[in-house]
Amino acid sequence: MTIQTDVLIIGGGFAGVTVAQELEKQGIKTTLVDRKDYFEVTFATLRNITAPDKTKNRARKKYQDFLSGRFIQSDVVEMSSTAAVLIDGTEIKFTQGIIASGTRYSSMPVAKSTIAMDISARNDELLGFHEKLKSANKVLVIGGGVVGVELAGEIAYALPNIQVTLAHNSHVLLNGFEEKTQRKSLEQLNSLGVDVIFNSQYLKIDDSYIDKNTGIASDADLVFEATGVLPNNEYLKTNLSQILNDYGYVRVNERLEVIGENSLYALGDIADVGEAKLGYLAQEQGKYVAKSIIKKLKGKSNKAYKRNPLIALIPVGQKDGVVQLPFAVTTLRFLVGLKQKDLFVNKVYKAF
């Protein structure tokens, strides 16, 4: 079977959904393909496993319940500059293609599932992690990036009986952030009782996690590996391997067009855009690409995408957190509370 569409979007994360909704508003027909049948506000899932009574699965919605254009739940196995092939053999031909298939963790289904492809299974998966947490005495979180810091804080706050250790392979948390952001997040974690270990490199050997630098094995009951992000690019390797950089991310120009391909754009986590891999930035990229496609169809040119300065609100537990703005770093409660209220779930869906 062959399907024809104006714009094909591969990946239904923040970037993919944003560009689909913006184009449909302008009467441009879109087809969005994703492996799962739901959109997930990924930065709300960590609290979902520590305090499910507070989030109540609000972070997920079925695409069919809010997406304006066509949605197909499937795997893309091959793509060219004019068509994509799904796992069942269906071919989708397009005028413009958008690569927004994102990334995955090598071993961190809490953040992004690799097996729960329908919304009920995902809800059950997260509830299962909650049950495991409730029966744990010691938890090891490997990785001191945003996800690792947030997860350690969420566990320590919601389940204070658990001894939480956060192990990071650098000498500071949150590499790439301002020094004050790094310092304040560490102070807040320590105040929650989190034991932060720097310059560690835990590796899984058989059924144990051993610090390569010290040879010490962790005695944790439960381990979360918040490291090892990989681009979802397998379907690009047959016909479009030349668009990938050395790390497997898609190379784009100043207009987020795939370098060397006039009909393709790339955005979100899989694209080498040059700004932080955060949900709100992926949404900004989606808005920009939608405007670019609309102007292109009208024969007009568009200005280059303006990279945004890093703005981050990192919760540490359910009350505290650190806000990094272009001009300041603060822990003021009223600013932290902007996200703590519902982790921006309502804001995201309102934007859609």
DSSP characters over 281-330: HHHHHHHHHHHHHHHHHTT---PPP-PPPP-EEEEETTTEEEEE-SS-EE
Give the strand pairing for 271-272 and 250-251: parallel
* Domain annotation covers residue 213: no
Cα separation, 190 vs 209, in Å, equals: 23
The reported pLDDT for the residue numbered 232 is 97
* Domain annotation covers residue 90: yes
pLDDT, mean of residues 288-295: 96
Query: What domain range is 279 assigned to?
Result: 2-106+229-297
Is the distance from CB of 72 to CB of 33 less than 8 angstroms? yes
CATH number for the domain harbouring residue 267: 3.50.50.60
Tell me how many domains the chain contains: 1
Phi-psi region of 51 (alpha: psi -120 to 50; beta: other; left: phi over 0): beta
pTM of the model: 0.95
* Domain annotation covers residue 289: yes
Cα separation, 63 vs 335, in Å, equals: 31
Looking at the chain, how many residues does it have?
352
According to DSSP, residue 273 is labeled -
pLDDT digits (tens, 9 = 90+) for 131-170: 999 999 999 999 999 999 999 999 999 999 999 999 999 9
* Domain annotation covers residue 167: no
* Domain annotation covers residue 117: no
pLDDT digits (tens, 9 = 90+) for 195-238: 999 999 999 998 899 999 999 999 999 999 999 899 999 999 99
The reported pLDDT for the residue numbered 107 is 86
* Domain annotation covers residue 347: no
Cα 114 to the chain's mean position, in Å?
Answer: 13
* Higher local confidence (pLDDT), 248 or 213: 248
Is the pLDDT score of 347 beyond 90?
Answer: yes
Instruction: Tell me the pLDDT of the chain averaged across its residues.
Output: 95
The reported pLDDT for the residue numbered 291 is 96
Percent of the chain with pLDDT over 90: 91
* Domain annotation covers residue 308: no
* Domain annotation covers residue 25: yes
Lowest mean pLDDT among 39-43, 87-91, 93-97, 226-230: 226-230
Is the pLDDT score of 310 beyond 90?
Answer: no
Backbone angles phi and psi of 129, in degrees to 5: -65, -35
Of 115, 166, 122, the closest CA to residue 144 belongs to 166
Is the pLDDT score of 106 beyond 90?
Answer: no
